[in-house]
Chains A and B, each alone.
Chain A
Amino acid sequence: MSPNIHSLKKQSWFDKSLPVWLLLPTMLALLVVQVYPTLYTIWLSTQEHDAAGWKFVGLDNFERLITLNQFGESVGLTIVFLVFHVALTMLGGFITAFLLSRKIRFSGLFITLLFIPWVLSHVIVGFMFRLMVAPDYGVFTGYLMDPARFPPNGLSILTAVPPKPWIPGFPFPPAPAMWLLILASTWRALPFVTLLILAAIQMVPAEVVESSRIDGANNWQVIRHIVVPLILPTMVVAIFNVILNGMNGVAIIFTSTGGGPGTATQILSYLLYSIGWSRIQFGRAAALALIIALVNWALILATLRFTKIEEGHDQV
């Protein structure tokens, strides 16, 4: 037996078990804060509580949820909200970051100002946007309610009913209140996305850009063929964040539109809140939470596929 083999055998227990010990605290933390709540949610989704206590109902909660009149409408509203929220946030974030990446005066001040929405809580943002358009005393109410600008009776953002859908059953075009919600959510999310993209743009090697210009590329071609491909991994991270926040956030809806008018802004996360905290049907709320989690997964996988960024080949 060679000394090397002997030494290997002697230390093999440590070598083998050390990673486990190193990972143990993290695994315990994950068990407590992620695994247990997930398993509890799955259990809860198969239960119903009545005066006698919990009882197993199988998949009844899922079935009743899907047959709710409001569920289908809520799915449609979520699609509309997410598409515009993600698109506007990413586009706005990219344009702002690109402008800030140029050497302009006061760019430091602009970046500081950009932080303002980010440091405000969702609740405050929702209230703020509501106060801008609240009937009777909103900042822009006088302007919006002018029949000359918005005939015949002016535009009351919080109470105007949705236009007739272009496709029956699908809530598009959305109610003005939905645009308010999209605007508020985008305003709140913009700083984070802008800073992520700005950091990525600043990491783009200057010589690559200069080379492309020497080769005759114009501004648009530099952005399209040099900058965007190089910052794509960062943009995917930003998209994940915007999707997940948009999909799961309820505070802005709660304080801005309250899901109204009618059900015009009741996206899935609000419906979840409503079922759990107003209707007090925790089992059904857990079932919806699982559905939303699956949708989140699907959206993330779709984003990965679409942008061709996957583990092992994250270069385009």
Chain B
Amino acid sequence: MNKRILLISLTIAVLTVLAACAPAPTATPVPAPTSAPAPTSAPAPTSAPQATAAPKPTEAPKPTAVPPTATAVPKPKDIVFWTQFDEKNMDPKSDSAVGNAYLRDTMPQFNKQFTGKWNWANVQKDFSKMNAELVAAVQAKGEVPDLFQISLDINTFVNNGTAQDLTAWAQAQAWYKDLDPSAVSACTATNGKLYCIPLSIRPQVVLVWKDHFPNGYPKTPADFLTQAAALKAKGVPALTYYGSTFGDGNGITRGMTTMMFSFGGKYDDGKGKMLLNTPENIAAIQFMREIVAKGYVTESSFAGNFQEEEAFKTGAVGSFATGMNAYLFLNTLKAPSGTRYAKGNLNDYLDALAAGDTYLAPFPAPAGKTPGCNLAASGIIVPTGSKNLDGAKEFINWIMTPQQNPQFVLGAVGGFPALKTSLSNSSFQTPYFKQAGQVMAASNCRPWFGTLTKPSVAQPIIMTTLYKLIKEDPTADIAAALTKAQEEYNKDIK
């Protein structure tokens, strides 16, 4: 008898577990009140890719027993947006404090403007893992957001089938013609289609302490070596930059590429394959070997985790090759003269620049070459499998207005706005943006990956190879190492 009771108990327990694991029953559609607005006013164009199978209005259940009240407000539908920012994080010391504050200010504006229709639901993601998380979510057909903030290469997402083709839809929008061509190219994959909507472009620049380079930043590598030697004699390294392999080669998107491109270097053959073994790349590596060996570069350049910033923040180094959005993170600051800029926010660097303690410059280039820089873009993609395509598109149209685009750029990601008319906004008429514009105009800025279709794979291969040649084994055969690296990548390319 006891065994029977035990058996029955076990059966009940197993069934309970199975019932708990079973998918929840589909929610019964809530009848829309008669006063509710019609389903999404902006239907997707027929040419838009992968339109979701939204129920047709005629399929909606008719209102039944419960009469709508006059004050009933329809529940807005979520637009799920994955960003690196967290509006709930109030910590002023947070690395993303500026972006967090932007969300806190802006999300209520959006939600008020679209009351009862859309709700901006932000999901904060770790910056170093958000790309992989999105790809995993799409490939596993999991919970996919409606929008995703990107600041890296578009090809990785396209190659993994993660981003929707927005070409036809974007070209039909009023703001499309106002986009900066370089911003469009940063969102265009190697197949020629547009997979993200650019919000800002961020060229690489060199931040310079005027006390260390009072007569202007060197124009050529030879000038640089001369001035760096003089600074070294005073115990000051001339340059700091993200020269480590930390973050799986993330340095390739930063100062490393600025230097490589300034010598006319590149990483691809223009046809999708990696090409590293070129005379220009070899010349750049030889230059970098020399400045590292002579102690003109901070040791913290190779420590990773943005350690290289510290020397610049304390005025202990002459210059910092980095992205133009670095001012968002460089606080607090102490100029070599001892002047402190300690508001603890994005204004510290802007104040230092306005006071003339620091300025922006392009990286030195050999005679006959144009200074180079990596051009990064911040933008939005609509991931494959987005459940609220209409909401995503309406959000993009909202943020691509001359009012919102500059706010996003200034408050969240930095750089220049992707809309040309936004550039006339008074916020971009400050000395900082004027200098950055001059640097960009004087440089040949382009995305580092060129035609490489697998930038996320190329990144650690290139950065590890460059690091080893420059720092770890400065006597190694440069051409042989570059050839070996490009062959490793090209094996994977069909």
Chain A residues within 8 Å of B, Cβ to Cβ = 11, 14, 18, 21-22, 24-25, 28, 49-54, 64, 67-70, 130, 134-137, 156, 158-159, 161-162, 257-263, 274, 276-282
User: What are 25 A-B contacts with C-beta separation under 8 Å?
Assistant: A18-B3, A21-B6, A21-B11, A22-B10, A28-B17, A49-B139, A134-B303, A135-B300, A158-B304, A158-B307, A159-B302, A258-B244, A260-B245, A260-B304, A261-B303, A261-B467, A263-B464, A277-B132, A278-B248, A278-B249, A278-B460, A279-B456, A279-B457, A280-B132, A280-B135
| Complexed CA–CA distance, A262 and B304 (Å) | 10
What 1/0 mask marks residues of chain B from 300 to 312 whose CB sits below 8 Å from any chain A CB?
1011110100110
The answer to whether B269 has its CB under 8 Å from any CB of chain A is: no
Q: Which residues of A contact B246 (CB under 8 A)?
A: 258-260
A261 with B247, Cβ < 8 A, contacts A28-B14, A159-B299, A280-B135 known:
no
A residues less than 8 Å from B460 (CB atoms): 274, 278-279
Question: Given A276-B132, A278-B132, does the pair A25, B14 have CB atoms closer than 8 Å?
Answer: yes
Q: Which 7 A-B pairs have the closest CB atoms?
A: A278-B248, A258-B246, A135-B300, A159-B302, A277-B132, A161-B472, A158-B303
Q: Which residues of A contact B298 (CB under 8 A)?
A: 135
Q: Are A136 and B300 in contact (CB under 8 A)?
A: yes
Q: Evaluate contact between A21 and B161: CB separation under 8 angstroms.
A: no
Query: Can you list, as one digit per residue, whether each of B244-260 has a CB less than 8 Å from chain A (1) or not (0)?
Result: 11111100000000000
Distance A249 CA – B158 CA, assembled complex (angstroms):
31
Stretch of B34-42, B389-397, B484-492 contacting A (4+ beta carbons < 8 Å): B484-492
Residues of B within 8 A of A278 (CB): 132, 247-249, 456, 459-460
B160: interface (CB < 8 Å): yes
B159 touches A50 (CB 8 A): yes
- Known interface pairs A130-B305, A136-B300, A279-B248; 4 further A-B residue pairs with C-beta atoms within 8 A, sorted by A's residue number: A137-B310, A262-B468, A278-B456, A279-B457
B-chain residues with CB within 8 Å of residue A54 when the two chains form the complex: 139
Which residues of the partner chain B approach A14 to less than 8 Å between Cβ atoms? 3-4, 7
Q: Shortest CB–CB separation between residue B492 and chain A, in angstroms?
A: 7
B99–chain A nearest beta-carbon distance, Å: 22
Q: Which residues of A contact B484 (CB under 8 A)?
A: 69
> Does any Cβ of A come within 8 Å of B319's Cβ?
no
**What residues of chain B lie closer than 8 Å to A68, measured between beta carbons?**
488
B488 to chain A: closest residue by CB? A69
CB-based contact B245/A262 at 8 Å: yes
A162 close to B13 (CB less than 8 A) = no
B479 CB → nearest A CB, Å: 16
Q: Which residue of B lies closest to A69 (CB)?
A: B488
Residues in B whose Cβ lies below 8 Å from that of A258:
244-247, 304-305
A21–B128 Cα distance when bound, in Å, is 46
Whole-angstrom distance between the Cβ of A38 and the nearest chain B Cβ: 16
B107 close to A (CB within 8 Å): no
**B456 contacts A280, C-beta separation under 8 Å:** yes
B contact residues around A69 at 8 Å (CB): 484-485, 488
Contacts of B464 in A (CB 8 A): 70, 262-263
- B-side contacts of A277, CB under 8 Å: 128-129, 132
Instruction: Find out whether the CB atom of B245 lies under 8 angstroms from the CB atom of A261.
Output: yes
Q: In the bound complex, what is the Cα–Cα distance between A137 and B313 (angstroms)?
A: 13
- Closest A residue to B463 by CB, please name it: A262
Q: Does B149 contact A (CB under 8 A)?
A: no
A253 CA / B254 CA spacing, docked (Å): 23
Cα distance A28–B464 when bound, in Å?
A: 45
* Residues in chain A near residue B3, CB distance under 8 A: 11, 14, 18
With a 10 A CB-CB cut-off, give which of B17, B156, B249, B299 has the most chain A CB atoms. Answer: B299
Q: Is the CB of A280 within 8 A of B304?
A: no
Give the contacting residue for A49; candidates B10, B161, B245, B472; CB below 8 A.
B161
B131, CB-defined interface residue at 8 Å: yes
- Given contacts A277-B129, A277-B132, whether A161 and B471 have CB atoms under 8 Å apart is yes
B282 / chain A contacts, CB cutoff of 8 Å: none
Please state if B307 and A64 are interface contacts (CB–CB under 8 Å): no
Residues of B within 8 Å of A130, CB to CB, are 305
In contact, B472 and A262 (Cβ under 8 angstroms): yes
> Could you tell me if B299 and A52 are in contact, using CB atoms closer than 8 angstroms?
no
B252: min CB distance to chain A, Å? 12
Taking CB as reference atom, which chain B residue is nearest A15?
B3
Interface centre among A50, A51, A52, A281 (most CB of B within 10 A): A51
Contacts of A135 in B (CB 8 A): 298-300, 303, 307, 310
Specify which chain B residues have a CB less than 8 angstroms from the CB of A262 in the assembled complex: 245, 464, 467-468, 471-472
The answer on a CB contact under 8 Å between B307 and A282 is no
Task: Give Cα A51 to B485, complex, Å.
Answer: 25
Task: Determine if A49 and B302 form an interchain contact, defined as CB atoms under 8 angstroms apart.
Answer: no
Assess whether B132 is in contact with A25, with CB atoms less than 8 Å apart: no
Q: Which residues of B contact A52 (CB under 8 A)?
A: 161
Q: Is B399 an interface residue (CB 8 A)?
A: no
Once A28-B14, A279-B457 are accepted as A-B contacts, the answer to whether A261 and B136 lie under 8 Å apart by CB is no
Q: Find out whether the CB atom of A136 lies under 8 angstroms from the CB atom of B307.
A: yes
User: A21 contacts which chain B residues (CB < 8 A)?
Assistant: 6-7, 10-11
Nearest residue in A to B301 (C-beta to C-beta)? Answer: A159
Q: Using Cβ atoms and an 8 Å threshold, which residues of chain A touch B159?
A: 50-51
Minimum distance in angstroms from A54 CB to a CB of chain B: 8
B247 surroundings in chain A (CB, below 8 A): 258, 278
Beta-carbon contact of A156 and B299 below 8 Å: yes
CB pair B160 A280 closer than 8 Å:
yes
Say whether B244 contacts A282, CB under 8 Å.
no
Whole-angstrom distance between the Cβ of B304 and the nearest chain A Cβ = 5
* CB-based nearest B residue for A145: B299
Is A263 touching B300 in the complex (CB atoms < 8 A)? no
Instruction: Determine the distance from Cα of A263 to Cα of B10 in the docked complex, in whole angstroms.
Output: 53
Max count, chain B CB within 10 A of own CB: residue among A18, A156, A261, A281: A261
Give per-residue flags for B169-184: 1 if the beta carbon is below 8 A from chain A beta carbons, else 0: 0000000000000000
A-contacting residues, B406-465, CB 8 Å: 456-457, 459-460, 464
Residues of B within 8 A of A11 (CB): 3
Tell which of A53, A54, A259, A278 has the most Cβ of chain B within 10 Å: A278
Q: Are A280 and B303 in contact (CB under 8 A)?
A: no
A64 to B491: give the CA distance in the assembly, Å: 9
Closest to B131 in A: A280
B382 to chain A, nearest CB (A): 15
Shortest distance in angstroms between B452's beta carbon and chain A's nearest beta carbon? Answer: 13
Question: Chain A's nearest CB lies how many Å from the CB of B463?
Answer: 10
How many Å lie between the Cα of A53 and that of B299 in the bound state? Answer: 44
A80 to chain B, nearest CB (A): 17
Chain B's closest residue to A256 (CB) is: B305
User: In the complex the two chains form, what is the Cα distance from A225 to B117 in whole Å?
Assistant: 78
Beta-carbon nearest neighbor of B248 in chain A:
A278
Q: Which partner residue on chain B sits nearest A11 by CB separation?
A: B3
- CB neighbours (8 Å) of A136 from chain B are 300, 307, 310-311, 314
- The answer to whether B307 and A134 have CB atoms under 8 Å apart is yes
Residue in A closest to B494 when the chains form the complex, CB atoms: A50
Q: Determine the distance from Cα of A278 to Cα of B455 in the docked complex, in whole angstroms.
A: 10
- Taking CB as reference atom, which chain A residue is nearest B7? A21
Kindly provide the distance from the CB of B94 to the nearest chain A CB, expressed in whole angstroms.
16
How many angstroms between the C-alpha atoms of A72 and B200 in the bound complex? Answer: 41
Residues of chain A within 8 A of B7, CB atoms compared: 14, 18, 21
